[in-house]
Structure 1
Amino acid sequence: MRPHHPYDHRWRHRWERKQNKRARRLARLQRDGDYRWRIRHRWHQRWHRQRRQFRHSLGARLIVVFVVLACASSVILWTSMQGRFGLLWALPALLLVTGVAFAMIRHVVQPLHALVLGAEAFRRGEFSHRVPVIHRDEIGDLAMRFNQMAADIQAMLDGKRALLLALSHELRSPLTRARLHAELVGEGPSRDALLGELAQMRDLITGLLESERLGSGHSALQLADCDLAALVREHAQPGMVLQIEPDLPTPPLDRLRIQLLLRNLVHNALRHNDASRGEVQLTLVREGEGVRLTVRDFGPGVPPEALPELGQPFYRPDAARTRGEGGVGLGLYLCRLVAEAHGSRLELRNAAPGFEASVRFS
């Protein structure tokens, strides 16, 4: 057996040290590569996050537009000062840069107009309207919150309407039985008072049901050509004067709802009219392609501060009046709903003397 050289173990140790050093170098390079990749990835994520924040921020984009406008204007002015005729082209260039900046700013704030239209629709009670989300920025977030708010309000109103309809339907049956039992009571003031209270309750429930049906707007109507002149003559009562133009058009209307409107307007006018000043006037005149219906009394009118509140549910100008004298405050509210369901508007005003209600149908 060959004996080992005395220096063989040194060579082996040197070779092992070289291998270990090479392995450490490779590990360090790998670690450095991973670190550099992590740094690049971190900067990449930070860049995309800042970019998203910039695109989402309306103020940041406006600041950039103003900065670019200021820099471009400064360059144009500085360049124009270097030549003799620099001002001749500097002014059109400044106007061009200003026009481009104005177009960019208008593009950025364009969704605000959609928000204004949405707010107007919500004010009118059109909660089915949705604000378009044009940009994915702060205004876009606001538009989405507008739409979510409208959906929540519509859901609450639908729930309230369903509950009110269910309660009104459930109250009709016991009210009818109570009226039948009251009619079996002997003649006298008590029987008349009880029947009067039951009749008011019936009218209240009928008004609530009709108001909830009309709350769905145009879809609740059954439209057909309607002769308003004949309908008005059917509702003529003593103490009224009819003024009807000949050859009036016959607009598409819901006859039953127009009868409800006429009945309430005529009842209010006769109740508040002062016969010593004149009779209630019911007028039908042609107005463009439609017909305007006007009911006027010669009573005391209403206070000017109460005019904006007329047509609201359960509102009465004189809160001290009893229900037997002034109703429950649903008459004008139903008239307003009928007019709005037909695409019109109930116009109320003091006529000095008296009070006037007017609706245009087309």
Structure 2
Amino acid sequence: MRNHPYDHRWRERWDRKQKKREQRLKRMRRDWNYRWRLRHRWHQRWHHQQRRFKHSLGARLIAIFVVLACTSSILLWAAMRSPDVLLLCVIGLLGVIGTAFGLIRHMVRPLHALALGADAFRRGEFSHRVPVIHGDEIGDLAMRFNQMAADIQAMLDGKRALLLAISHELRSPLTRARLHAELVGEGESRDALLLELAQMRDLITALLESERLGGGHSALQLSDCDLAELAREQAQPGVELHIEPDLQPLRLDRLRVQLCLRNLVQNALRHNDATRGAVQLSLARDGSGVRLTVRDFGPGVPPDALQQLGQPFYRPDAARTRHDGGVGLGLCLCRLVAEAHGSRLDMRNAEPGFEVSLTLR
């Protein structure tokens, strides 16, 4: 039967079929999206747990112990069931234990790098960086170590810059104060004022020199230097020289070594007991270098203070009182000069007296 042109029932049926088809497709599409999101969410959780497992050192150690225990149990059970495979089980067990040991050693290997970094920071080498080997908790600790070292280095650089700026700014008013003091009439007050100003000048000079020497070998101006000639410049009452003949010249910073030698001799003279003997200044060959030694016969230094000698502004007041002079920068400058030349300042009680020595090459 042919549809009438004005009969719209067939169009309604067609629209209902189309609507059902669209609803079915939408439902299928919705189900597919849901399954895709569910699968994607499962993958995300899996990767998240995997990252947590790789980051956690404890979780990996527990996993190794669980695998080791399970494998060992299986091998022992197999050995008990069949004595013929006992040797193979023992070999397999030893192999599993060796593999577990190697994995654990690989995971805790960064701890050795952290120990080396801690030793470097204790020595003041804040330019040292701990290598980040693994991206786990130990790796995070290594990054925190490096960040701490960078922060401390920045703080020290800021302190040095501030100290240098203050020291430079103090030089001008100190020079003007000294000129005004020299115009004062002669007397005890004038002499005391000039002495105080001289001590302030020496303090500022020592501060500037210590900051320059903080750069190490790069701060030196090396040239051929005759240590015997520098030692003879320190010849004065109360000082005995003991110099080996024919000492070879060395590549040194003459002014810095002269400063170091002068500070050591003045420090020894300040604390020497002349009734026991004069200050001993010695130069002797030490392999390819020359060993410089300065000894006094004073009261010495308390044993618990030896480790702190050479630190800025440190004074062992139990043995050396404030009226003896000095601000605690003399030995610090000597230590910096020795370290800049690749040497080390050795200080010890000589019983009686105190001895300081260093080897220059």
- Into which bin does the TM-score normalised by the smaller protein fall? over 0.9
**Residues 299 and 319, structure 2, Cα contact 8 Å, conserved in 1:** no
SS of residue in 1 equivalent to 2:81? coil
**Partner of 2:301 in structure 1?**
302
Q: TM-score scaled to structure 1, two decimals?
A: 0.92
**Residues 297 and 356, structure 1, Cα contact 8 Å, conserved in 2:** yes
Q: Report the aligned-residue RMSD.
A: 2.2
Question: 1:286: how far off?
Answer: 2.2
After TM superposition, the structure 1 stretch with the greater mean CA deviation from structure 2, 28-37 or 57-66, is: 57-66
SS of residue in 2 equivalent to 1:311? coil
Report Cα offsets for 1:13-46 as digits up to 9, x if no partner: 6555443333222111111001001001101111
After TM superposition, the structure 1 stretch with the greater mean CA deviation from structure 2, 220-229 or 122-131, is: 220-229
**Partner of 2:283 in structure 1?**
284
Report Cα offsets for 1:317-353 as digits up to 9, x if no partner: 1179765523111111111111111222211111111
Matches within 5 A, 1:156-175: 156-175=155-174
Corresponding residue pairs, total:
359
**C-alpha separation between the residues in 1 aligned to 2:249 and 2:99?**
54
Question: 1:201: how far off?
Answer: 0.5
**Partner of 1:256 in structure 2?**
255
**C-alpha separation between the residues in 1 aligned to 2:360 and 2:86?**
63
**C-alpha separation between the residues in 2 aligned to 1:233 and 1:3?**
133
Question: 1:208: how far off?
Answer: 0.5
**C-alpha separation between the residues in 1 aligned to 2:165 and 2:4?**
108
Does the alignment pair 1:335 with 2:338?
no
Letter in structure 1 aligned against 2:62: I
**Partner of 1:235 in structure 2?**
234
**Residues 316 and 326, structure 1, Cα contact 8 Å, conserved in 2:** no
Question: 1:61: how far off?
Answer: 1.5
**Partner of 2:356 in structure 1?**
357
Letter in structure 2 aligned against 1:344: S
**Residues 294 and 355, structure 2, Cα contact 8 Å, conserved in 1:** yes
**Residues 229 and 244, structure 1, Cα contact 8 Å, conserved in 2:** yes
Does the alignment pair 1:146 with 2:145?
yes
Matches within 5 A, 1:211-230: 211-230=210-229
Question: 1:203: how far off?
Answer: 0.5
Report Cα offsets for 1:152-195 as digits up to 9, x if no partner: 11111111111111111111111112112212222211111111
**C-alpha separation between the residues in 1 aligned to 2:94 and 2:251?**
55
Question: 1:222: how far off?
Answer: 1.4
Report Cα offsets for 1:271-318 as digits up to 9, x if no partner: 111111111111222223322211111111112222222111111111
Letter in structure 2 aligned against 1:359: L
**C-alpha separation between the residues in 2 aligned to 1:346 and 1:201?**
26
**Partner of 1:71 in structure 2?**
70
**C-alpha separation between the residues in 1 aligned to 2:250 and 2:78?**
70
Quickly say closer, same or farther: Cα 1:292–1:19, change in 2 above 3 A: same
**C-alpha separation between the residues in 2 aligned to 1:324 and 1:275?**
19
SS of residue in 2 equivalent to 1:237? coil
**C-alpha separation between the residues in 2 aligned to 1:315 and 1:332?**
9
**Partner of 1:134 in structure 2?**
133
**C-alpha separation between the residues in 2 aligned to 1:295 and 1:80?**
75
Question: 1:209: how far off?
Answer: 0.5
**C-alpha separation between the residues in 1 aligned to 2:246 and 2:136?**
58
**Partner of 2:175 in structure 1?**
176
Question: 1:251: how far off?
Answer: 3.6
**C-alpha separation between the residues in 2 aligned to 1:49 and 1:337?**
52
Quickly say closer, same or farther: Cα 1:273–1:3, change in 2 above 3 A: closer
SS of residue in 2 equivalent to 1:81? helix
**C-alpha separation between the residues in 2 aligned to 1:224 and 1:118?**
35
**Partner of 1:35 in structure 2?**
34
**C-alpha separation between the residues in 2 aligned to 1:72 and 1:3?**
80
Letter in structure 2 aligned against 1:226: C
Quickly say closer, same or farther: Cα 1:25–1:133, change in 2 above 3 A: same
**Residues 313 and 333, structure 1, Cα contact 8 Å, conserved in 2:** yes
**Residues 68 and 96, structure 2, Cα contact 8 Å, conserved in 1:** yes
Quickly say closer, same or farther: Cα 1:8–1:282, change in 2 above 3 A: closer
Question: 1:230: how far off?
Answer: 2.2
Question: 1:205: how far off?
Answer: 0.5
**C-alpha separation between the residues in 2 aligned to 1:343 and 1:45?**
56
Question: 1:98: how far off?
Answer: 1.7
Question: 1:244: how far off?
Answer: 2.2
**C-alpha separation between the residues in 1 aligned to 2:247 and 2:86?**
69
**C-alpha separation between the residues in 2 aligned to 1:311 and 1:181?**
35
Gaps of 5+ in 1: none
**C-alpha separation between the residues in 2 aligned to 1:70 and 1:285?**
66
After TM superposition, the structure 1 stretch with the greater mean CA deviation from structure 2, 37-46 or 319-328, is: 319-328
After TM superposition, the structure 1 stretch with the greater mean CA deviation from structure 2, 81-90 or 289-298, is: 81-90
Report Cα offsets for 1:62-112 as digits up to 9, x if no partner: 222222222222222222233334333333332222222111111111111
Letter in structure 2 aligned against 1:177: R
